[in-house]
Amino acid sequence: MLRALFLLTLLSARAAAAAPEPAFVVVVDPGHGGEKDGAVGPSGLREKDLTLQIARRVAARLAAQGGRAVLTRDADRAVPLAARAALANARQADLFVSIHLNAMPGPARGRAHGVETYFLSADASDASATAVAARENADRLAGEPEPDPRDPVSGILQDLADKDALSESSRLAYAVHERLVHGLGAEDRGVKQAPFYVLAGARMPAVLLEVGFVSNAAEARRLATPAYQDQVARAIAEGVAAWRSALAAR
């Protein structure tokens, strides 16, 4: 009897040791899609096409690191902004990463270049962050509920199940931003905060990456090449890995 109990305990311990750890899940969100082109470059390059191409490469990089990436869209189709973070919540994702391309209106349109990284806040860091959030937030689909114009994310900030998600979003933003700037040799336009609807509601660390300016002809050409897209994807994956290592060390 004791021998049988011992063998059962031993087999259970071995089975537990052999069981794989749950995959680290990242929901990767290619900005725009369907009727929403996003920013359009001087030669007609569309943000929605480039973000999808980059997102697929990010997913492959994360898979190579042993993680599991889920795309909010894997084709040129419309996805409501609110549904993107909701998907991450439903999948119990560990991270939410939304990928976008920047654009500058007016005389500076052809000159602005570089990388900006954002995490959620009720207040924008500066006028530039306000403008970027306004452009991205305008990408709502017909029938989507209008957010409260007085304070679009305050309820989300108050109701977050995990308050640490906001501080971890900041740490994730800096980790990914550093890799993007150095990996791409891009101008460092900073880590900023803004009220992005696509991040609102995410119950995990969440960031929005503006990985270059499609309005800048030279930068848009680079962003359209597979080699540069792979550099972007590698930098994002390395940033995620660096954040995970720092989290494990705390």
Distance of CA 209 to the CA centre of its chain: 6
Q: Is residue 5 part of a domain?
A: no
* Residue length of the chain: 250
Q: Is residue 129 part of a domain?
A: yes
Q: Is residue 75 part of a domain?
A: yes
Kind of pairing, strands 95-102 and 115-120?
unpaired
Question: Over 50: is that where the pLDDT of 19 sits?
Answer: no
Torsion angle (degrees, nearest 10) of CA 127, 129, 131, 133: -150
φ, ψ for residue 198 (rounded to 5)?
Answer: -65, -25
Q: Is residue 18 part of a domain?
A: no
At residue 149 the predicted structure's pLDDT band, cuts being 50, 70 and 90, is: very low
Question: Over 70: is that where the pLDDT of 236 sits?
Answer: yes
Rounded Cα gap, residues 163 and 157, in angstroms = 8
Instruction: Give the CATH number, domain containing residue 227.
Output: 3.40.630.40
Q: Is residue 187 part of a domain?
A: yes
Number of CB atoms found within 10 A of residue 77's CB:
11
Q: Is residue 200 part of a domain?
A: yes
Question: Over 60: is that where the pLDDT of 21 sits?
Answer: no
Question: Over 60: is that where the pLDDT of 14 sits?
Answer: no
Degrees (nearest 5) of the Cα angle 49, 88, 171? Answer: 90
Number of domains in the chain: 1
Sign of CA dihedral 208, 213, 215, 219: negative
pLDDT at 170: 94
Degrees (nearest 5) of the Cα angle 63, 120, 244? Answer: 35
Q: Is residue 3 part of a domain?
A: no
Q: Is residue 9 part of a domain?
A: no
Whole-model pTM: value is: 0.85
> Domain containing 234: what range?
24-141+149-249
In this structure, are residues 99 and 207 in contact, taking their beta carbons and an 8 Å threshold?
Answer: no
Task: Read off the pLDDT of residues 186-233 as tens digits, 9 standing for 90 and up.
Answer: 999 999 999 998 998 899 999 999 999 999 999 999 999 999 999 999
Rounded Cα gap, residues 232 and 203, in angstroms = 25
In this structure, are residues 42 and 110 in contact, taking their beta carbons and an 8 Å threshold?
Answer: yes
